[in-house]
Structure formats: structure tokens, C-alpha cells
Structure 1
Amino acid sequence: MKAVSVQLEGIVKRFGKVMAVERADLELPAGALVTLLGPSGCGKTTILRMVAGLERPSEGRILIGGEDVTRLPAYLRDVTMVFQSYALFPHLNVFENIAYGLKVQRRPQAEVRERVTEVVGQVGLGGLEQRPVAVLSGGQQQRVALARSLVMQPRVLLFDEPLSNLDAKLRKHVREEIRDIQQQLGITTLYVTHDQEEAMAISDLVVVMSKGKIEQKGDPRTLYTQPQSRFVADFIGSANFVEGSYAGGEVNVAGYRFPHRQEIAPGNVTVMVRPEAVTVSSNGAGLEGILHSVAFLGSRTEFSVDTAVGRLEGVIAGDAPDLPSKGAAVRVRFAPQGVYLLAR
């Protein structure tokens, strides 16, 4: 099936006096995986449900493949959703769960078997077709839910917090499977999560939402390195925020000056510094500080420094045997690749 684009044009959704989504404009390129990311109550699931046809916009239009589907019922949109709760039938086995939608459509038995067999192989459930879903692991149940959506050969695939019921290690494995299958099949996909690491790992485009509004949209690298607001900077990864000034290609933070080039008006700014850009040494230029804590966490070493502009958090990949000991006087510097300026 040819991949289709999805457009949201001026979408507004009100529940009584509550504004759930405010003027959302968004395009999902054909074959892309787009993630709606934000805290609970930001409107991301409401948008997902409107694309699915489970909610109707108060204003605006939704187009799938150029067709206006705003007023079409869900069953006519050729869209399927993988739910957070899996929503499997516990009294049916794997094959029967996956085949359910095709049987409702009264597809020929031979077609049902052929399509279910194909999708079972795609999601790695071969040999489990007759297994009751109640005895499957969480990861296997999630694959059944995915297969049940894929077997319908939808134009658009929707995910509503699909990994929230899995443990951390299994979440990483299943998200990689979802991304691999989505790329292999080229299905236009809209994915909802509040987990920024999950969003960055699988997405072609991430849409950050807050209080019903789209704060920023872009590829994961752009959102991380060039956030357009403090909310986005704080929600995508970890960040330190200090006040400073910018002029002539130089940033001044409490007397510590360092070169930086960015298209922003000269004057007072908020300086965002990613933890990996914070470095310390026993002498030289930089902010004066006292090393407050050091924690070795296997794959990384985290530390914090008390300075005149507040406590700064830093991280170093792997072990950091040369890091001064806790309580030592240090100088803090910022690596330029982890700094971005925000207008006050």
C-alpha cells in the first residue's frame, strides 16, 4: 500500500470550557514516524483520537492522503490504533486475536490465514499462533496488539503510549522492533508518549506539546541542540539554566566569558548548558565553584558543582578517575557544542 501524508489544519478541541487543543497545525510526511511528546494533559492523546476518528475537532480539518476525513467515522478512515492497555481478547489465542478484525470484515478464510501468517512473521510471533494470549509476556502481548493493527493494512498507524506497561529493558527492545517494522513497511505513523528518550530514539519528527499547544517540532537532534523555549529545553533531555549576556560573539556568565555564535539579539539571555557540556578543572578560566557531589553510575559519572550562579549538573561518559574529589575547589567551563541561548 502506498504511504500517505496526514495534515492537521487549525485543529481546535474544546471539552466544554476546557481548551484541550489550541490551533494545531501539523503535517505527517508520507511514511514518516511522528511522535507527539509532552506531559500528561498537554493534548497529545486528544490529537491522536481525533486522527483516529474517536473524537471530532471543534474547529479545523484533518486530511489523510489529501482526503478530508474530519467528519468521517473511525471505521471509514483506514486507520488502526495500538492501545496502551493492548486491549486483547483474553479468551482468544494469538491467531484469533490478530484475525479478529479481518473476520469482522468477513474476509475469505484463505485470505485471513495468509495475512495473519505474514504479519506473525513480521512481528516475531512465529510458533505462538495457538498460544492463549493470557500466558504471554508483556512484550509478546504488545506484539500481538501491533500485529492485530498491521494485519488490517492501514494507511495510518497510531500508537497511544504503547510501552508504558513494560519494564525499562523490555521497552528499549520493543521500541526498536516497532521502529524496524515501521521502516520496513513504510506506514505513516503517529506515536504518543511522555518519554523523551523513547521519542528521540524512534522518531523522524518530534512534536513537543504543552497545555494544548505545539511548542516546537523538528528532528530529535534539532530539538535537543536548538530548543526554542525553556520548556522544550527542559523537557528534551536535562539542562542547566543560568543568566548571562551576549554581545559580539561572546557570552558573559558572572564574569566567565566564552565565545559563542548564534543568531540572537545582543543583550541579556538565558544560557542553556547541557550536562555533557559542563567540564571542571582545578585551575584556569571559568566559574569558581565547589564540587558538591560525584556519583559513578557505570556507563557514566554524574557530578554537581556549587557556583555563584547556582548548582550546575554535569555528566562524563564512563569512569572519571581524574575528577577532583568532593569538596574540592574547581573551575567550571562550558563546551560550546552543548550551549544554546534563549531570549529572556
Structure 2
Amino acid sequence: MQQAVSANLTGSPQAVSVKLEGIVKKFGKVTAVEKVDLELPAGKLITLLGPSGCGKTTILRMVAGLERPTEGRILFGGEDVTRLPAYLRDITMMFQSYALFPHMNVYHNIAYGLEVTRRPKGEIRERVAEVMHQVGLSGLEERPVAALSGGQQQRVALARSLVMQPRVLLFDEPLSNLDAKLRKRVREEIRDLQQELGITSLYVTHDQEEAMAISDLVVLMNKGVIEQQGDPRTLYTRPISRFAADFIGRANFFEGQYHGGYVEVAGYRQPYQQQGISGKVTVMVRPEALRVYPSGDGLDGTMHLVSFLGSSTEFSLDTPVGRLEGVVAGDAPELPGRGERVKVQFAPQGMFLLPA
């Protein structure tokens, strides 16, 4: 993507914080969101992550003004906007579908919101030209949107949102219609632009890799409540529950005993330090933290399967605590083959203990 012309679109409003206080949303007898307190720092990108039906899209729609909370308040920069209609909130949203106008060219799709609000023609031309340069669409003004690739259409949708100079930018699973390679490229472009422009952004997705790649803060939702929130690294390395550990990345789980200084698993004692927990525990080990050796100290294991995937090699092995899955970078020809007996250890940086 081309370098932005400036740090902010000309005349763009200053980024504001967004705060949710005690938000509850009920649909009849069904509670979709239950007592959510959340603060989005000004100028940051916050992702609501979770499975279908967890309440993340409902929260997004309440921030947008498309749904009204049953209880609680929503504040933009300290201003209570709970009862303010969507068109007065100074927000824009990118939906799962691009929602472009097929009978209009690229220029008029981007300019549509400005034209509806009767901005001066000179201002419209200037703002559209600037945002088209920022998203790498310069020269395509007259192109019919139907003649664009999926990635280009996504950029038109993003440009149409940015040209309105919103205080808050909302994303409702905007990359779900793109293939894997294009999805990765577009998410990087969205992140670059968001950081350059400093627009407070709320992003909804069920894709944990997408959330970790673009977010300043990830808010993991589960059954209408916030399960855990934090920066991507914290959620991955220090989950507070089995749900969080299992949803963010892949993990092996098995039972053990923590005695302060080591974890005991099926007779093997693994050195490890973690505060605030003792006795019977659930051990979480990320696949990349599994270490296998032909002999020595470790948990007994038997290699089950080794699969070369190009950039990495995945393997599985049977142990007294069940089948464990591991991964190493590259070809890893040194891995033992199927049926070979090994000793298994766990790298402490890829372990975490949860209450049993």
C-alpha cells in the first residue's frame, strides 16, 4: 500500500475513547450481552473475538447505534451517546459484504457519503483523491466496481469509510469474503492505515490469528461476557481459563500436580515456576513447546505421526496422559519416526497452569 499523504486526513476529528459501562442487551428472554464493562483507548484498534453467538456483533451494533442497550451506558470521549441515533454518532462501519453500489464507479462509491451530506464539490474531490491515494486506488476513479478484484473492492469499502473522517471506525468481520492470502494482505493494510490515521477502531472477528495480527487489545467473548482481555501476547501465553487457552491458538491439556518449582506429570517432574497456584492443576502446553529426545529425562512417549508442511513440521505422539501434538519450524529431519520411543519435555515459555 502507498504511504499515506499525511498522518491524518485533512480536518479529521480527533480520536476519542469509547467506554461501555454495565452494558446489558436482551432480546426477549434471551440475554445476548451481560454486564460488559469495556474501554477502548483513543486511537487504538480493539478486537472483539469469540465464537458465533458470544455477543461480539451485538456489542458492535450497540456502539454503532444500530441497537440500544437494555441497560448501561456508551460514552464517546466522555459524552453519553447511548440514546443518540447512529447518524449522529460520527462513526462508519465496514460490513461483511462490501455493500458497494454496482451502478457507480469507484469515485462515486467513495464520494457517496460526502455527496449525500452536501459537502462542497471541491472538498469532495480533495478528500476522495487523498483517501484513494492512501488505500492504493489512485488512477481507478472511473473503473466500475464490478470490474475490480475482491481486494480492490475491499479497499473501496475502506476508503468510503475513511473519507467520512469518523471519530470511531467499526469493522464487522470485513475479511470473511476473501481467500487466505488476500485476507492476510488486506488485514495488514487495514492495520497500517489505522495506525497512520490514529482512528479509534473496533473490529469483530471469530478468527484468532486475524485478531492477534492486527490488535492493540483483544477482548475475548464467551456467552455474552468478557472471558479475558489483554494484548495478544498476554492472551496467548497467560490465558486465565481453558476456554481462553483453547480458543487462542492450539494447546495440549492434561492433568498434573504443581509442587512449587516443578510440575509432576505421570511420574516425570518438569521444572517450572508459576505464582498463585498449587496442588492439582490442568497443564497447558503449546505445540511449539513440546521437545522430544531419543533418551534421557522426560515423559515417556511414542511417536505417532510426522507431517512436513513446508514452513513447519507437525508431529503427534502417544504418552501416559494422552496424545500430544507438537510443531517445529522447517523440515526437522532429526525428528524420530513413527513408532519410535522418545522422552518428552516442555519448554517453560510455552506452558501455563490452570486450576484443575
TM-score (norm 1): 0.99
Partner-residue secondary structure (3-state), 2:219: strand
2: distance between equivalents of 1:3 and 1:261? 42
Residue 222 of structure 1 aligns with which residue? Answer: 234
Map of 1:306 onto structure 2: 318
1:156 aligns with 2:168: yes
Q: Deviation digits for residues 238-257 of structure 1, max 9, x if unmatched?
A: 00001001112211111111
**CA deviation map 1:47-106 (0-9, x unaligned):** 000000000000000001110000000000001001110111111110000011011101
Answer whether contact 1:34 1:203 (CA < 8 A) is retained: yes
Mapping for residues 146-185 of structure 1, pairs under 5 Å: 146-185=158-197
- Please name the residue that 2:223 is paired with: 211
Residue of 294, 307, 318 corresponding to 1:295: 307
2:112 aligned partner, one-letter code: Y
CA contact under 8 A between 1:264 and 1:343: conserved in structure 2? no
Structure 1 residue 263: deviation in Å?
1.4
Q: 2:92 aligns with which of 44, 62, 80?
A: 80
Partner of 2:340: 328
The whole-number CA distance in structure 1 between the counterparts of 2:37 and 2:133 is 37
Residue 242 of structure 1 is aligned with which of 236, 251, 254? 254
Question: Which residue, out of 263, 272, 278, partners 2:275?
Answer: 263
The correspondence for 1:24, drawn from 16, 36, 39, is 36
The equivalent of 2:9 in structure 1 is: none
Structure 1 position 265, deviation (Å): 2.6
Counterparts of 2:203 and 2:312 in 1: how far apart (Å)? 30
Q: State the aligned residue count.
A: 344
Please tell me whether the aligned partners of residues 260 and 274 of structure 2 are also in contact (alpha carbons under 8 angstroms): no
2:284 match: 272
Aligned counterparts of 1:218 and 1:161: Cα–Cα separation in 2: 20
Query: Which one of the candidate residues 331, 337, 341 is aligned to 1:319?
Result: 331
- AA of the residue aligned to 1:78: D
Residue identity opposite 2:220 in structure 1 = V
2: CA distance between counterparts of 1:150 and 1:28? Answer: 19
- Matching residue within 60, 68, 72 for 1:56: 68
- Partner of residue 135 from structure 1, selected from 133, 140, 147: 147
CA distance in structure 1 between the partners assigned to 2:268 and 2:35 by the alignment: 42
Letter in 2 for 1:84: Q
Conservation of the 8 A alpha-carbon contact between 1:246 and 1:268 = yes
Cα offset for 1:213? 0.9
Distance in 2 between the 1:187 and 1:205 partners? 14
Helix, strand or coil at the partner of 1:302: strand
Q: Determine the C-alpha separation between the residues in 1 that align with 2:273 and 2:259.
A: 10
Q: How does 1:84-163 map to 2 (within 5 A)?
A: 84-163=96-175
User: How far is the alpha carbon of 1:112 from its aligned partner?
Assistant: 0.7
Provide runs of 4+ in structure 1 moved above 2 Å.
none
Structure 1 alignment gaps of length 5 or more: none
Corresponding residue number in structure 1 for 2:3: none
> Is 1:10 the equivalent of 2:25?
no
TM-score normalised over the length of structure 2: 0.96
> Secondary structure at the residue paired with 1:71?
coil
